[in-house]
Structure 1
């Protein structure tokens, strides 16, 4: 049950409080360390699934925990970046209209989780689409860039890259969320 892939997944969950603590009142060093932890968590996200499939150790625990670990990491990071001020300028990392993109991502995660739970009771699974994988890629790059921007306050392009990817992720989030909802509606009375 506690195979290497499951331990990697659990490590992502245990990394969230450390990430939150580093982003609580960060200076450039806090942002740099948070970026490092965020990158390590992203790498474990890739390897836990890869190793589970390669070793033939895909488990119910891993299937249950992996999406939870992803959602906890994304939600905690988004909330901290909305509430945490930049090193230079004193504005939140995600502010103004950009908060809408962050909300779209958070709300879709909650809605799709509920939909998947409902469909699981009907023994219906929704495979992850290629578009959803792109959504996840833009989401991860976005949040990583926004954290890194705090460590590199003299490089505003990093922050702009993060915000651009955040909006791309939000658009893909709407598209993939609609796809999941369409499939789910077919199974509702």
Structure 2
């Protein structure tokens, strides 16, 4: 039962709540760094455990059960943390709510269908949806890291000097332009990826419901 693929899945399952724990127990930006490393590591093990299970013919019922649970836990907990970190910003909260709703909805469908839940096979679009979600969340965790180093670098500095540095009219020994551009690049790209993930979430959710509909009729 405790094959390497299953162990990796368990590690990912344990890592999911640790993302929230980091923000409760560690000061920023170390919490942001820890959350980013945990999330990216979990995303990589998501691909690795499936690859190893198929390559080594170690696919198991335990792995088949835990793998989607670990994926959903990782995404949902990370979205809850990000919604809190960004002060319930609508650009984060609305797509996050759509994604969480879809995960709960599809899980409920699978549970209700029971033995015929095989009709809700994971599609290629659903896999793309998961990938886009992971990229979006990783980018949004990186925003706080760039923001911290930019704010720390400008602390006590005259606003005009900061403006000159950002406009490339002054030297930049503290690499403020790098942190400033990184902050906005990760924010806008992260939000864009999150909304794309939300759109894919709605499309795949409707597709699953359409496939389940024949089994829901009396």
Q: Distance in 1 between matches of 2:55 and 2:126?
A: 22
Which stretches in structure 1 are left out of the alignment for 5+ residues?
85-90
Kindly indicate whether the alpha-carbon contact (under 8 Å) linking 1:22 and 1:34 is maintained by their aligned counterparts in 2: yes
User: Partners of 2:203 and 2:67 in 1: how far apart?
Assistant: 22
1:58-110 Cα shifts (integer Å, max 9, x gaps): 100000000000111111101111112xxxxxx42x51243111100000001
Residue 126 of structure 1, aligned match among 113, 120, 126: 120
Structure 2 unaligned spans of 5+:
148-179
RMSD: 1.5
Return the alpha-carbon distance in structure 2 between the equivalents of residues 45 and 142 of structure 1.
16
Q: Which residue of 1 aligns with 2:206?
A: 178
147-156 or 43-52, which moves further after superposition?
147-156
| Residue in 2 that maps onto 1:79 | 80
Number of aligned positions between the proteins: 182
SS of residue paired to 2:216: coil
Report what 1:87 is aligned to. none
Q: TM-score of the superposition, structure 1-length normalised?
A: 0.90
Change (3 A) 1:179 1:159: same
Larger Rg: 2
Q: Corresponding residue for 2:146?
A: 152
The structure whose residues are more often helix, as a share, is 2
- Report the TM-score, using the length of structure 2 for normalisation: 0.79
Q: Counterparts in 2 of 1:35-46, with a 5 A limit?
A: 35-46=36-47
